[in-house]
Amino acid sequence: MIGSLPDKQRELASMPLFKFEILAVLPPEHELRNKPRLQAADFETETLITYPVPEERIDLIRQVLKPAGININRRTTELTIAIMQLVASRRGVAALPSWGIQSYVEHEYVIAKPIGTGLWSELHAIGMVDTMAKPYTLELARIIRDTCAERLPGIKLL
């Protein structure tokens, strides 16, 4: 993979931080609220609300919906709170990291459901090779990992 990257990207290094589960986010009164977990077909008639990134960067689309041959309507917005407002007002559903939606679920603003057998993603710190090898960068990564492990429920350190 490194060989196919542009020159600038070849100089990048990745430091694994943690993995996290991506959950389906629904309005509390949604017809799927009683299902223990959602499958690809459950999204077929839904509008998916996402951040404005290419579809190939959205795990739900890339790993679940495309392999199942499901094309969905998509609406984008830039802020998590805007995604939550759109979901809560029944304008669509979302798929977001469990740790990012916890307070919305706890306050019953939305509900969250696992997707399939579990849809997981990873978070890595990325920087220039020289910078990523510096002691202060390694210490920053350790602090990030420790803080996230302490404060973000459901994550798994890499």
**9-65: pLDDT as tens digits:** 668 999 999 999 999 999 999 999 999 999 999 999 999 999 999 999 999 999 999
CA–CA dist 41, 147 (Å, integer): 37
CA atoms within 13 A on the CB side of 125: 18
Smallest Cα–Cα separation from 132: which of 14, 18, 17, 19?
A: 14
Report the pLDDT value the prediction gives residue 8, as an integer from 0 to 100.
61
Tell me the per-residue pLDDT of 60-99, one tens digit each, with 9 for 90 and over: 999 999 999 999 999 999 999 999 999 999 999 999 999 9
Report the pLDDT value the prediction gives residue 88, as an integer from 0 to 100.
97
Q: Which CATH architecture has domain 1-158?
A: 3-Layer(aba) Sandwich (3.40)
Smallest Cα–Cα separation from 24: which of 121, 79, 94?
A: 94
Task: Parse the chain into domains and list their residue ranges.
Answer: 1-158
